[in-house]
């Protein structure tokens, strides 16, 4: 057992007692609390406030944070385990937790001053408030150097102008803040100086658009933001001025491990639902799972989920041990998102016409899977990162 990571260093990658206890607790919560209401929230496009409230009471939003700020004193791998179990039944709930922790609270924990942590973290870690990260813009996605949002100092305040797109958790009734990436000047090398500034919800000039109408993740909150003359105090700068680009690169590296865990959960959920259905549904005189074509399809699904899980376990272990993990995070995200998409397609096929219905979990899984190949770095970006790390 590696005492640093809580992961077995053997071939089985067995979990520590603490991690296994957490996994079982979240598995039970997902099955008994999340799953029964998932379809209703999905079809109606409503945010699951009650589920989020219960997740807060369980301490899930504080899992990888120290107790001094109201966290649970756990680690990032604990968060990944929780995300996997939640995504086995509902990716909307899982992405709400992932974004709130890795994109909302984590930047403040990693880069904030003691005063900023004391001011904002307690509510975020308790799940009483949600944080969002405003990076993507209408014309700046994978190429973050194309940022157009600006922030200038004026009279002891940051004045921010611009627009952000596809921002998760940015417009709920409990959203507390958005950390905005903005151009704050020009560096000595002539490149854009990018910094991050915390903008509390309700700040004049911050316009929150209605929720997007999405193909998947229909019960999560995703919106466009407009910033027109938004003014916040100078001390809302997060971390060192001009270090915003480096900050979000680190946050995105960590986030890819979390997204990989979420994708594994969806992939495993497809296996769960397909095994259940294949045992119950009969065709040609016996359960369809007795037909080799169906059995082999499900076997391939399990192999993909298992392989992807090992990939994110490895990336998480490296991260927690303080070893380089950029390549492994990219591999995990790439492999896991492919597994999710392939398993969702296969599970829909196993279910036949029922797989096309939103009342069945695999119908929702199919719609949820595609964004995993896009969000927090497209599959093409992951391949680019892997190739660069290989020296190509």
Architecture of domain 132-241: Beta Barrel (2.40)
Structure tokens at 346: 């296969």
Alpha-helical runs (H) found in the chain: 17-29, 35-44, 49-58, 76-87, 91-98, 106-111, 114-126, 244-280, 292-320, 326-351, 361-369, 379-389
Q: What is the predicted pLDDT for the residue at 255? A: 93
Q: Say what the pLDDT of residue 13 is.
A: 66
Which strand (E) or helix (H) includes residue 65? none
- 2 has a pLDDT exceeding 60: no
Number of C-alpha atoms within 13 angstroms, CB side, residue 117? 16
For the stretch 158-203, pLDDT in tens is 999 999 999 999 999 999 999 999 999 998 888 899 999 999 999 9
Residues of the chain with CATH 2.40.110.10: 132-241
What does the alpha-carbon distance between residue 254 and residue 321 come to, in Å, rounded to a whole number? Answer: 13
What is d(CA 153, CA 164) in angstroms, rounded to the nearest whole number?
20
Which amino acids are annotated catalytic?
376
pLDDT (0 to 100) of residue 11: 35
**Number of helical H runs and strand E runs in the chain:** 12, 10
Class of domain 246-389 as given by CATH = mainly alpha
For 108-132, how does the pLDDT look when each residue is reduced to its tens digit (9 = 90+)?
Answer: 999 999 999 999 999 999 999 999 9
Query: For residues 295 and 273, what is the distance between their CA atoms, to the nearest angstrom?
Result: 13
17-130: CATH topology is Butyryl-Coa Dehydrogenase, subunit A; domain 1 (1.10.540)
pLDDT surpasses 50 at 331: yes
Query: What would the pLDDT profile of 256-314 be if each residue is shown by its tens digit?
Result: 999 999 999 999 999 999 999 999 988 888 988 999 999 999 999 999 999 999 999 99
**Structure tokens belonging to residue 207:** 């316009």
Tokens of 353: 């016409």
Strand partners, 155: none
Instruction: Cite the DSSP H helix spans in 207-325.
Output: 244-280, 292-320
Q: Where in the chain is the domain with CATH 1.20.140.10?
A: 246-389
pTM of the entire predicted model: 0.93
For residue 12, is pLDDT > 50? Answer: no
- pLDDT at residue number 146: 86
Q: SS3 of 179, please? A: strand
């Amino acid at each position: 057992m590696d005492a640093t990571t809580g992961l077995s260093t053997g071939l089985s990658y067995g979990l520590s007692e603490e991690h296994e206890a957490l996994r079982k607790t979240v598995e039970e919560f997902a099955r008994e609390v999340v799953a029964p209401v998932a379809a209703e929230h999905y079809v109606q496009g409503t945010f699951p406030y009650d589920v989020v409230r219960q997740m807060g009471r369980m301490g899930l939003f504080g899992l990888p944070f120290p107790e001094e700020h109201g966290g649970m004193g756990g680690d990032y791998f604990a968060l990944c385990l929780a995300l996997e179990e939640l995504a086995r039944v509902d990716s909307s709930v899982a992405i709400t937790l992932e974004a709130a922790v890795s994109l909302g609270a984590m930047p403040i924990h990693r880069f904030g001053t003691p005063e900023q942590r004391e001011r904002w973290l307690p509510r975020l870690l308790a799940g009483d408030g949600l944080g969002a990260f405003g990076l993507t813009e209408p014309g700046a996605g994978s190429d973050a150097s194309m940022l157009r949002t600006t922030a200038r100092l004026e009279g002891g305040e940051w004045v921010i102008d611009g627009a952000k797109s596809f921002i998760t958790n940015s417009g709920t009734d409990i959203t507390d803040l958005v950390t905005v990436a903005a151009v704050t000047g020009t560096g000595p090398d002539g490149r854009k100086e990018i910094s991050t500034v915390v903008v509390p919800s309700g700040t004049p000039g911050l316009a929150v658009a209605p929720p997007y109408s999405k193909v998947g993740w229909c019960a999560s909150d995703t919106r466009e933001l407009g910033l027109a003359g938004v003014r916040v105090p100078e001390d809302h700068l997060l971390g060192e001025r001009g270090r915003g680009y480096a900050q979000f690169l680190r946050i995105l590296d960590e986030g890819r491990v979390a997204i990989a865990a979420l994708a594994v959960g969806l992939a495993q959920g497809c296996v769960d639902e397909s095994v259940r259905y294949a045992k119950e549904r009969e065709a040609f005189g016996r359960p369809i799972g007795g037909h080799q074509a169906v059995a082999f399809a499900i076997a391939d699904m399990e192999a993909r989920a298992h392989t992807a899980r090992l990939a994110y376990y490895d990336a998480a272990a490296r991260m927690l041990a303080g070893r380089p993990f950029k390549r492994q995070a990219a591999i995990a995200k790439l492999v896991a998102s492919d597994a999710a998409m392939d398993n969702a397609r296969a599970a829909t096929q196993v279910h036949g016409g029922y797989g096309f219905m939103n009342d069945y979990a695999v119908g929702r899984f199919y719609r949820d899977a595609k964004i995993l190949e896009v969000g927090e770095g497209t599959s093409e970006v992951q391949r680019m990162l892997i190739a660069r790390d290989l020296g190509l």
